[in-house]
Amino acid sequence: MAASAQERSAATPSAAKAAAPARASRKAKREQGRWVREVKGILALALSGFGFVALYAYDPTLHLMDQTSPVGPVGVWLGWVFFWAFGYAGYLFPLLLAGYGASAFIHSRMVTGWPAFAGLGLLLVSVTGILTRLSDTLAVQRIHKGGVLGWAVSEAFRVSVGNVGTWIILLAIIPVAVLFITRASLRAMSHALFERLGMLSPGDRKPAVPKPAAARLDPAVAADEPEEMPKLVVKEPPKPKGSLVEKGLAWQETFDFGKEGARAFQLPPVGLLQAPPSSELKRTREELETNAQTLRKKLEDFGVGGHIVQASPGPVITSYEFEPAAGVKISQVVNLGDDLALALKSASVRIVGPIPGRGTVAIEVPNSEAATVYLREIFVSAEFAESKGKLPLALGKDVTGTPVVSDLTSMPHLLVAGATGSGKSVGLNSMICSILYKASPADVRFLLID
């Protein structure tokens, strides 16, 4: 029973020995993935440089057969294709390759998925169209500036919505493309930019959130630069029912049944029960945020993007709700349970999901120390005080720290099983106390058979 005993998990020496080869294998795979990523980065940077030189050396005023290039005939043909197709917007492709190559060495993650590709396509359409509109009236010059794509887009919009409408549409596409690529709020980005430039008043600036010490994180995680993340929501434990606490403490601790028997019976006050010490209860917000950052960074190392949106600390485990980014499969998160446990230095990590109605996955991490659930915590909770059942039973807390109260009248039978010393007798005592704190002898009669 959660209300009477602590749950602890420990790995046996044999299990630890069996897990060692598996962890070594996973570490080797991670190291292999890193050097493969760096090889791809070097190739991307080389292709980026090649493409930039090819475009820069191409002269649109000369015939194709009269072109010369420092990167040879391949560079000439490459410059011709990109310049005539996209115009000066063709420089976007070497820039994107350079960004992809640099990301392999600066530990940043490129945004992937169909929204990113859709945003890049929209950006290319907008830039080529704008370059075409900015060019001269000659058709050849217009194609030089924005390429065939820009000329086609510009003419299609001009015929359908006119010159002014074309400018409005082409300019509106740019912020839409940025939203698709970055998946970040324009308001948040502008706020951060103005704050950097010192253009915000002191009242509009948000207080800086202290960053967790990098020494507490996994070395692979600590090497990454922290990025601005949405504020972690920590689910607070339910507040005690104030009227019950005051009423219980105000009553006398020694009560008299009186001559009238059950009618004179007074429910016992919660002041008779031991209150949980302050040091027993809660994990600090800093610890929860540190674990959340570690989880997010470790998931990013394996190409799984997303955010930790909520942490729900319980007596035995803490549940972190992870919201995957667009295009991320749930199976990608579930398969990383052992790697997350290794990063958090935990015996195990359980991944449950998806959570109905929230679009998140629960990552359950065992606490370093299991907390004792005190019976008084359950009795002063709203779940117990507002229970409509005739025979409510305080059964403890669930994994998120929410009190669990059930009605005995809905159970035809109740079987409590467990090994010696697991807390069966104390659990039964908690059930009896639950009834004593909600019903009088006029409502309930006990028959105990041992």
* pLDDT tens-place string over residues 33-81: 677 778 888 898 898 889 889 888 888 777 878 888 888 888 888 888 8
H helix or E strand, kind and range, residue 323: strand 317-324
Tell me if 225 sits within 8 A of 105, measured CB to CB: no
Least confident of 73-77, 180-184, 434-438: 180-184
User: What residues have CB less than 8 Å from 378, skipping those under 6 apart?
Assistant: 3, 384, 394, 396, 397, 403, 405, 434
The yes-or-no verdict on residue 283 having pLDDT over 70 is no
- With CA atoms as reference, report the closest residue to 360 among 371, 368, 352: 352
Least confident of 23-32, 91-100, 385-394, 411-420: 23-32
CA separation for the pair 305, 303 (Å, rounded):
6
Q: Of residues 343 and 161, which shows the higher confidence score?
A: 161
Task: Give the pLDDT confidence of 330-345 residue by residue, as tens digits.
Answer: 888 888 888 888 888 8
Letter for the amino acid at 65? M
CA separation for the pair 414, 436 (Å, rounded):
18
Q: How much is the average pLDDT of 116-143?
A: 75
User: What pLDDT sits at residue 333?
Assistant: 86
The yes-or-no verdict on residue 313 having pLDDT over 80 is yes
318: three-class secondary structure by DSSP: strand
Assigned token pair, 137:
């009236």
Q: Of residues 258 and 327, which shows the higher confidence score?
A: 327
CA separation for the pair 237, 373 (Å, rounded):
12
% pLDDT > 90, the chain: 2
Strands 392-397 and 403-407: antiparallel
Alpha carbon separation from 185 to 49, 145, 178, 228 (Å, rounded): 32, 31, 10, 12
Q: Which runs of consecutive H residues, i.e. helices, occur in 87-205? A: 92-103, 114-134, 139-182, 186-197
The yes-or-no verdict on residue 326 having pLDDT over 50 is yes
Of the pLDDT bands very low, low, confident and very high (cuts 50, 70, 90), residue 30 is low
Q: Which residues pair with 310 in a beta bridge?
A: 233, 321
What value does the mean pLDDT of the chain take? 74
Task: Give the pLDDT confidence of 72-126 residue by residue, as tens digits.
Answer: 888 888 888 888 888 888 888 888 888 878 877 775 555 556 777 788 888 888 8
User: What pLDDT sits at residue 76?
Assistant: 87
Q: Which residues pair with 396 in a beta bridge?
A: 404
Domain boundaries, the chain: 242-276+372-436
User: What pLDDT sits at residue 168?
Assistant: 92
Buried b / exposed e along 105-143 (16+ C-beta atoms within 10 A) = eeeeeebeeebbeebbebbbbbbbbbbbbebeeeeeebb
User: What pLDDT sits at residue 169?
Assistant: 92
Q: How much is the average pLDDT of 373-380?
A: 86
Report the first-to-last Cα separation within the chain, whole angstroms.
Answer: 20
Q: How much is the average pLDDT of 306-320?
A: 86
Task: Give the pLDDT confidence of 209-236 residue by residue, as tens digits.
Answer: 444 333 344 444 344 444 455 566 666 6
Least confident of 124-128, 142-146, 392-396: 142-146
The yes-or-no verdict on residue 16 having pLDDT over 80 is no
User: What residues have CB less than 8 Å from 335, skipping those under 6 apart?
Assistant: none
The yes-or-no verdict on residue 164 having pLDDT over 70 is yes
Q: What own/partner pairs with CB < 8 Å and gap ≥ 24 does 266-272 have? A: 267/436, 267/437, 267/438, 267/440, 268/436, 268/437, 270/244, 270/245, 270/376, 270/379, 270/380, 270/437, 272/248
Cis preceding-peptide flag for 354 (omega within 30 of 0): yes
